[in-house]
A and B are shown apart, each in its own frame.
Chain A
Amino acid sequence: MEIVVCLKQVPDTESQIKISGDKKSIETGDIKWVMNPYDEYAVEEALKLKEKFKGSVTVVSAGPARVVEALRTALAMGADKAIHIEVDTVQLDSYGTAELMAAAIKEVPHDLIFTGQRAVDNDQTSTGAALAEFLGIPQLSLITKVDVADDASKVTVQRPVEGQTLVIESSLPALITAQKGLNEPRYASLPGIMKAKRKPMDKKDPGALGVTPSSKSEVVQIIPPPERAAGKIIDGETAEEKAIELVRLLHDEAKLV
């Protein structure tokens, strides 16, 4: 089974976000970059399927030179080869990113493609869907369970939606977006890290892929979130007193209950 995993490098979730002077992007100077957490589930699921069905796992990332680190992490976890599409992703939305990745992925065999359900930077939650559309394959999003038929002819997945879980069957090739709960991502082992250094890292530039990616959204500005007014710490002698006063305030002052 040939599997492709798309992964994005994003700021560590601990990062404080500072907006740049032009209000169009964020300051990246102090940021520690990591593989998007949802993409770790995607890589793990691909590796598990490879263990069962054989074949290979190719990881793809579009971004500046630094994203090679995230690709190396995936190779160290056990992926076989990497494709780095070198591009300044700051200028790209999910549409443009998906156009580029579709062009790269068309050239490699793929029975299944995994992405994360969303990248925790711009939270666009749409690159997977756009990629599936551009490749003309079905998408299965926010998936917490993947079962590939023994003869690898189809896939059955579980997709929790509000208050229920849909069990969906799809033909292959298909694209799956990984949700938390799908698996527990493995860590890269030391031998894995050593081996990763020798695994192929194929660099592509957008020109060679024959696409001029088009962003379909204009950023007017990026601003800090609305400030929350300072809150009230409720005084009282005992927990009970405080609890009673809290409920009174929620009722009388906040008018919520």
Chain B
Amino acid sequence: MAEGIWFVAEQRDGELRKVSFEVASAARRLADEVGTTVSGVLLGAGVAGEAEKLGAYGADKVFVIEDDALSVYTTDAYSAAIAGVVKENDPAVLILSASVQGKDLSGRLAAKLGVGLAMDCVKFELNADKKLVATRPIYAGKAVAEIIPAGDPQIATARPNVMDLVEPDESKKPEVVSVPFSVDAAELKTKVVEVLKDESGKIELTEADVIVSGGRGMKGPENYKILEDMAEVLGAAVGASRSAVDAGWRPHTDQVGQTGKVVSPNLYIACGISGAIQHLAGMSSSKVIVAVNKDEEAPIFQKADYGIVADLFDAVPVMTEEFKKLLS
């Protein structure tokens, strides 16, 4: 009988990423509903020390797989290694983050294991049969589907930034189990040959707590400086509408919307963005939405929790000053 709730932790340069604690927390809550255990899987090179930290977020046990071939994520190495421990231990549910890595890994893993997958979920529950019911936005949030992925394990990924963290309990130490990496080198067909770091130290949109976003109302690339200033005060990421991206003002990776990133920060501040359906689709799961637009008819105001009808070039610098006062 498949038993236990599992999660896959994610590390970067040997350090756990926040999404690891999110999936651990989600797994813990599910396990507590039915009184079962939580196990994590952590892969990398020299990461065993990090495994301990997962205990505070609910892991009873952590399987650690270490090898030089695992220092940087590749689909083939990670999916083969995880499929191995999963098959051996037969968990009931496996939760990954819907991060860039988790989306890639979960798709491959589910196919390898011949099981279903619920991608990019915002809520998990167990039904009367203790089966996972995963809630996921579809049509970029224009509707919501409740899905039961089939098979053992049931695999689902959690949208970053959505799952609340459990109150960490530093006194809890997990049992750490070292698993040998035994994947045949001939199976590894891809290799990371270079890692280009983004020097700007930008916060990733999908994981940001606060996003300040600018659209065509910004009038030109040079004006994003005022958003960057506000973002800096707030520790926020800067996003953009497709119009701003297509105009070449901002990089593609900054686009929020149905054909860009789907984001769910605690606070989304839209400046000079009209609120086209494709844009709204990408940000309407934000907890609080603020709109700054000079046109009171702009559709963004229908989604905004707080709106000001104003010229953004007057309002944004004042907001930045006010935020500064509060946060200093």
Q: Are B116 and A95 in contact (CB-based, < 8 A)?
A: yes
Q: Are B148 and A218 in contact (CB-based, < 8 A)?
A: yes
Q: Are B110 and A165 in contact (CB-based, < 8 A)?
A: no
Q: Is the contact region of chain A dominated by helix, strand, or loop, or is it mixed?
A: mixed
Contact of B315 among A14, A128, A240, A248 (CB under 8 A): A240
Q: Are B196 and A225 in contact (CB-based, < 8 A)?
A: no
Interface string of B101-121 (1 = CB under 8 A from A): 101101110111011111110
Given that A168-B74, A171-B189 are contacting pairs, would A17 and B110 also be in contact in the complex, using a CB cutoff of 8 Å?
no
Given that A164-B195, A243-B319 are contacting pairs, would A219 and B147 also be in contact in the complex, using a CB cutoff of 8 Å?
yes
- Tally of A-B residue pairs with Cβ under 8 A? 286
In chain B between 232 and 286, which residues have their CB closer than 8 angstroms to a CB of chain A? 234, 251-253, 255, 258-260, 262, 266-267, 277-278, 281, 284-285
Q: Are B289 and A216 in contact (CB-based, < 8 A)?
A: no
Stretch in contact with the other chain, from B167-175, B177-185, B305-313:
B305-313
State the interface size on chain A (CB cutoff 8 A): 88
Contact of A120 among B112, B259, B307 (CB under 8 A): B259
With a cutoff of 8 Å between Cβ atoms, the chain A residues found around residue B195 in the complex are 164-167
Q: Is A148 an interface residue (CB 8 A)?
A: no
Q: Is B327 an interface residue (CB 8 A)?
A: yes
Given that A123-B119, A133-B111, A169-B191 are contacting pairs, would A232 and B307 also be in contact in the complex, using a CB cutoff of 8 Å?
yes
In chain A between 221 and 257, which residues have their CB closer than 8 angstroms to a CB of chain B? 221-226, 228-229, 231-234, 236, 238-240, 242-244, 246-251, 254, 256-257
Query: Min CB distance, B194 to chain A, in Å?
Result: 4
Q: Is A210 an interface residue (CB 8 A)?
A: no
With a cutoff of 8 Å between Cβ atoms, the chain B residues found around residue A249 in the complex are 306
Q: Is A162 an interface residue (CB 8 A)?
A: yes
Given that A95-B110, A233-B296 are contacting pairs, would A122 and B138 also be in contact in the complex, using a CB cutoff of 8 Å?
yes
Q: Are A243 and B189 in contact (CB-based, < 8 A)?
A: no
Q: Are A231 and B111 in contact (CB-based, < 8 A)?
A: no
Interface string of B77-118 (1 = CB under 8 A from A): 000000000000000000000111101101110111011111
Stretch in contact with the other chain, from B21-29, B53-61, B198-206, B214-222:
B198-206
Given that A93-B116, A231-B307 are contacting pairs, would A170 and B189 also be in contact in the complex, using a CB cutoff of 8 Å?
yes
Q: Is B75 an interface residue (CB 8 A)?
A: yes
Given that A95-B116, A171-B189, A225-B144 are contacting pairs, would A244 and B196 also be in contact in the complex, using a CB cutoff of 8 Å?
no
Query: Min CB distance, A28 to chain B, in Å?
Result: 12
In the bound assembly, the distance between CA atoms of A93 and B117 in angstroms comes to: 9
Given that A216-B150, A218-B150 are contacting pairs, would A164 and B143 also be in contact in the complex, using a CB cutoff of 8 Å?
no
Q: Are B318 and A243 in contact (CB-based, < 8 A)?
A: yes
Q: Is B128 an interface residue (CB 8 A)?
A: no
Q: Are A11 and B255 in contact (CB-based, < 8 A)?
A: no
Stretch in contact with the other chain, from A74-82, A83-91, A138-146, A188-196:
A138-146
In the complex, residue of chain B having the shortest beta-carbon distance to the beta carbon of A172: B189
In chain B between 102 and 160, which residues have their CB closer than 8 angstroms to a CB of chain A? 103-104, 106-108, 110-112, 114-120, 133, 136-151
With a cutoff of 8 Å between Cβ atoms, the chain A residues found around residue B1 in the complex are none
With a cutoff of 8 Å between Cβ atoms, the chain B residues found around residue A224 in the complex are 143-144
Interface pairs A-B: 10 shortest CB-CB = A129-B107, A216-B116, A126-B107, A181-B252, A239-B314, A133-B111, A239-B310, A247-B322, A162-B204, A130-B111
Given contacts A138-B189, A250-B306, A256-B266, 13 further A-B pairs with CB under 8 A are A13-B278, A26-B143, A125-B120, A161-B99, A162-B100, A166-B192, A167-B194, A216-B110, A222-B143, A243-B310, A246-B290, A246-B319, A247-B323
Q: 29 A-B Cβ contacts within 8 A? A: A14-B278, A15-B139, A15-B142, A37-B259, A95-B111, A120-B258, A123-B140, A129-B75, A139-B107, A140-B75, A140-B190, A141-B75, A161-B101, A163-B203, A165-B198, A166-B194, A167-B196, A217-B117, A218-B148, A218-B150, A219-B145, A220-B145, A221-B145, A221-B146, A222-B138, A231-B289, A234-B308, A250-B267, A256-B267
Binding site for B on A (CB under 8 A): 11, 13-17, 19, 26, 37-38, 93-95, 98, 120-130, 132-134, 137-142, 144, 156, 158-171, 174, 179-181, 215-226, 228-229, 231-234, 236, 238-240, 242-244, 246-251, 254, 256-257
